[in-house]
Structure 1
Amino acid sequence: MGMSVIISAADAEDAEQILKLQYLGYQAEAELYGDWSIDPLTQSLESLRAELAEQRFLVARLGDEVVGTVRGRVDGDGIGRIGRLVVHPRMQRHGLGGRLLDALERRLVEDGRPLTAYRLFTGHRSLGNLRLYARQGYRQAGVEQVTSRLSVVHLEKPVSSPFAATA
């Protein structure tokens, strides 16, 4: 009998597993852009623990193992800022990224703060990420050239919930 993946809120004890998963998950991104100095690969455990205290973190667990994670927060303008969606390479392409994103969007709405849209970003060469976000209802809101090798694609999705703030 197989185990099910359970999505739940992360806690302080998950910090090391999240950091290791983040490091593993962002290897492909680093290779794609030829840059191993990207933030997810250089973040310290202390920095991640500080983020855990400030943001909403979700983890996907397979038994005791963290196999997926995403984080987010609602800023002062009512925008849900979503970041660092990571799924273990062996668990990719089975819908877990979409499940994590849906769960975080729901949690941000349930937090009760006025919320009008979700925003996230990814690199322009990250075609799998761009396809996932498009399937989840995100649309391109802009492109920012960071270096000669990297442009960041900003994506946005309106909040469609009775709890969402009205503009």
Structure 2
Amino acid sequence: MRLLRVGSAVELGRLTVVPYRQGMGVGSFLLREAETVFPEIREMQIFTGEHSTANLRLYERSGYVETGRTPVGDYSIVHLTKALTSSGPKA
């Protein structure tokens, strides 16, 4: 997982779980932990491919909202954002 602070937001990239651990809550755990690394941030931003349905389900289930799409060849990158508070993520 990679986190990059950009002003009052953090961009999360490369959240990866090895295939034999997928579906066991590891991704959800990593996402919750990422949201606490910078307690002062107000927003977490994520992107994934439109065909990454498991990723999209995880992010939406965790409170992320689609904010736009960027076309890349024959598919799109989906951009998602979640507002955070100084005391932790909003449910």
TM (norm. structure 2) is 0.89
Match status 1:82 vs 2:7: no
Per-residue deviation, 1:73: 2.1
Gaps of 5+ in 2: none
Letter in 1 for 2:9: I
Identical-pair percentage: 36
Gaps of 5+ in 1: 1-69
Count of matched residue positions in the alignment of Structure 1 and Structure 2: 89
Which residue is equivalent to 2:59? 133
Which residue is equivalent to 2:75? 150
Residue 80 of structure 2: SS of its match in structure 1?
strand
Letter in 2 for 1:72: L
Per-residue deviation, 1:71: 1.6
Match status 1:73 vs 2:4: yes
Whether the 8 Å CA contact 2:42–2:86 is kept in 1: the answer is no
Residue 36 of structure 2: SS of its match in structure 1?
helix
Q: Give the structure, 1 or 2, with the largest relative contact order (CA under 8 Å, sep 6 or more).
A: 2
Per-residue deviation, 1:102: 0.6
Which residue is equivalent to 2:86? 161
Per-residue deviation, 1:126: 0.7
Per-residue deviation, 1:143: 0.8
Residue 128 of structure 1: SS of its match in structure 2?
helix
Letter in 2 for 1:142: G
1:45-60 to structure 2, matched below 5 A, reads: none
Structure in which a larger fraction of residues adopt helix = 1
Structure in which a larger fraction of residues adopt strand = 2
Structure with higher Rg: it is 1
1:94-109 to structure 2, matched below 5 A, reads: 94-109=24-39
Per-residue deviation, 1:107: 1.2
TM (norm. structure 1) is 0.50
Letter in 2 for 1:160: T
Could you list the structure 1 runs, at least 4 aligned residues long, displaced by more than 2 angstroms after superposition. 160-164
Residue 41 of structure 2: SS of its match in structure 1?
coil
Residue 73 of structure 1: SS of its match in structure 2?
strand
The Cα RMSD (Å) is 1.6
